[in-house]
């Protein structure tokens, strides 16, 4: 019996990546232009870092962060409140058979990068990295 390619643990397909990027760009443009009639949403500058789509392209998860990371929950609430209007606006710019449902979550990428930097700057880690570099030089 052949395995379903969506359950092999492989990453997203080229189509998922392409559609996700199209949705990301279109959603970013809609938010930048203030096309949604919500003053709370229009006064915020929101970055759309990534959009991941489900294998059937019916659900798109947008990873967002307000400028500076301030008022993230307020921004998320405004996006969720206006998700149907945002979906319509995004769909205008796409030529898909189905308009994907857009879900919004806070983008944790920047927090993860900061934590990684913090860990790499610890004295113990720097000593270990330096020691590994010396071991490699000895073997060469």
Among 3.30.460.10, 3.30.930.10, 3.30.1490.20, 3.30.300.20, what is the CATH number of 5-107? Answer: 3.30.300.20
- What's the first-to-final CA gap in the chain, in angstroms? 49
Per-residue pLDDT of the chain (140 residues; tens, 9 = 90+): 344 444 556 788 999 999 999 999 999 999 999 889 899 888 889 999 999 999 999 999 999 998 877 788 999 999 999 999 999 999 987 877 788 999 999 987 766 666 667 777 777 777 777 776 666 555 55
As to burial, measured by CB atoms within 10 angstroms (0-12 exposed, 13-18 middle, 19+ buried), residue 98 is: exposed
pTM over 0.85: no
Alpha helix (H) residue ranges in the chain: 14-33, 39-42, 72-81, 83-92, 109-120, 123-139
Residue listed under structure tokens 């189509």? 15
Q: What is the DSSP letter of 67?
A: G
């Amino acid at each position: 019996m052949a395995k379903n390619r969506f359950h092999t643990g492989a990453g997203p397909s080229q189509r998922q990546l392409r559609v996700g990027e199209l949705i990301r760009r279109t959603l970013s443009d809609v938010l930048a232009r203030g096309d949604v009639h919500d003053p709370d949403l229009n006064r915020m500058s929101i970055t759309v870092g990534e959009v991941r789509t489900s294998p059937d392209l019916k659900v798109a998860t947008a990873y967002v962060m307000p400028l500076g990371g301030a008022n993230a929950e307020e921004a998320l609430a405004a996006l969720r409140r206006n998700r149907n209007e945002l979906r319509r606006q995004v769909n205008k710019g796409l030529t898909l058979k189905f308009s994907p449902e857009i879900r919004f979550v806070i983008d944790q990428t920047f927090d993860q990068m900061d934590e990684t930097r913090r860990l790499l700057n610890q004295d113990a880690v720097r000593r270990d990295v330096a020691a590994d570099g010396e071991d490699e030089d000895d073997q060469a």
